[in-house]
Amino acid sequence: MVRRVSPSQYRSILRQAAQKQQRAINDYNRAVRQHNSQVRRVVDSYNRDVRAHNARVAENRRNLRAAVQRLSTGRVVIRSTTYYRSVATLHQSYEAVEQSAPGSWLESRDDILDLAQVEAANSLALAGVAESGLNNASMQSEEDSEVERRLGEFSDDLASRWRGALFSLNPSNPDAARHFSASSRELLAQIIEGEAPDDAVLASNPDAPLFDGRPTRRARLAYCLVRSGKASDALAAFADADVDEVVELFKVFNDGTHGPAGVFDASNLHLIRSRVEGAVTFLHSILRT
């Protein structure tokens, strides 16, 4: 049966329907504004991150260009061709890492990109020292406890070896550079071999390149990066070049020592220590985080 309504009731029904429609429109518009606001926040945040990334990359490039310029124009103390070749390789490897970052997992790992830049810059800084002395270079050293903590995450033995290496690094020790270099070289090798044993590397990649019948350092680093979800040929090449440059630096320091007190003072010894700390920190960042 059709319900009869009065004109006033009919007008009330129309008003209620109009109000309901308006509420629906208002709710929709509010939802759209909220959505648009969220999108703007996300876009703004992304744009800020992009600008920050681009600014950091630009700053990194400026720092590296300045270091390269100093290296190419300065009169340098260190004259080892092999060492300079390792420095150049490290710098080229960093550029390859930077170029491979966009669109890869590296793009979101600012810490690794920043540490790679620091390693390249520190290498160039040491290589470009002016003839007035190695202690003109400036490098920041980590707290002993922080380096020891990183090494302790690899093994307690490595942390103990680091304490022993630091004990030998005394200006009154005429063989300080040689002792510290030998300990540090072994320490870096054990970090990588401990994380990538021969059998594990060869089981993962039977065609891994070998040296003296064992997987190369780069093959071990590549294995570690694949295992940790950070597979990157460019990063493996950079990490390999980083360790190689440190090893070549050891040779430079060892070749330069002579006489009862050697040629390196406390500031000089601090530089090689800082370089090792940087390499340990970088290896920790790609192998353990």
- The answer for residues whose C-beta is within 8 angstroms of residue 287's C-beta and 6 or more apart is 154, 191, 195, 224, 228
Residue 22 lies in a domain: no
Q: In this structure, how many other beta carbons lie within 10 angstroms of the beta carbon of residue 261?
A: 13
Location of structure tokens 């050293």:
141
Number of domains in the chain: 1
Per the CB < 8 A criterion, the answer to whether 232 and 103 are in contact is no
Task: Spell out the per-residue pLDDT of the chain, length 289, in tens.
Answer: 556 767 777 777 778 877 888 888 888 888 888 877 777 776 767 667 656 766 766 666 666 666 556 555 544 444 567 877 888 899 889 989 988 988 888 888 888 988 998 898 888 777 755 333 444 455 556 666 889 999 999 999 999 999 998 888 877 777 887 888 889 999 999 999 999 999 999 999 999 999 999 999 999 999 999 999 999 999 999 999 999 999 988 887 766 544 333 455 667 777 788 889 999 999 999 998 7
Residue 188 lies in a domain: yes
Residue 39 lies in a domain: no
Location of structure tokens 């006033």:
8
Question: pTM for the whole thing?
Answer: 0.71
Location of structure tokens 């340990």:
280
As a whole number of angstroms, the distance between CA 289 and CA 269 comes to 29
Q: Tell me what pLDDT residue 65 has.
A: 64
Q: Tell me what pLDDT residue 96 has.
A: 93
As a whole number of angstroms, the distance between CA 199 and CA 208 comes to 11
Task: List the structure tokens of 222.
Answer: 């590549």
Q: Tell me what pLDDT residue 58 has.
A: 67
Per the CB < 8 A criterion, the answer to whether 250 and 185 are in contact is yes
As a whole number of angstroms, the distance between CA 246 and CA 277 comes to 10
Q: Tell me what pLDDT residue 53 has.
A: 61
DSSP string of the chain, one letter each residue: -PPP--HHHHHHHHHHHHHHHHHHHHHHHHHHHHHHHHHHHHHHHHHHHHHHHHHHHHHHHHHHHHHHHHHHHS-BS---HHHHHHHHHHHHHHHHHHHH-TTSGGGG-HHHHHHHHHHHHHHHHHHT-BTT-GGG---PPPPHHHHHHHHHHH-HHHHHHHHHHHHH--TT-TTHHHHHHHHHHHHHHHHHHHHS-HHHHHHH-TT--EETTEE-HHHHHHHHHHHTT---HHHHHHHHHHHHHHHHHHHHHHHH--TTT-S--HHHHHHHHHHHHHHHHHHHHHHT-
Q: Tell me what pLDDT residue 257 has.
A: 46
Residue 6 lies in a domain: no
As a whole number of angstroms, the distance between CA 105 and CA 88 comes to 26
Domain span at residue 72 reads: 53-287
Q: Tell me what pLDDT residue 286 has.
A: 94
Residue 119 lies in a domain: yes
Q: Tell me what pLDDT residue 134 has.
A: 47
Residue 91 lies in a domain: yes
Residue 175 lies in a domain: yes
Cβ neighbourhood burial of 31 (10 Å; 0-12, 13-18, 19+) = exposed
Residue 117 lies in a domain: yes
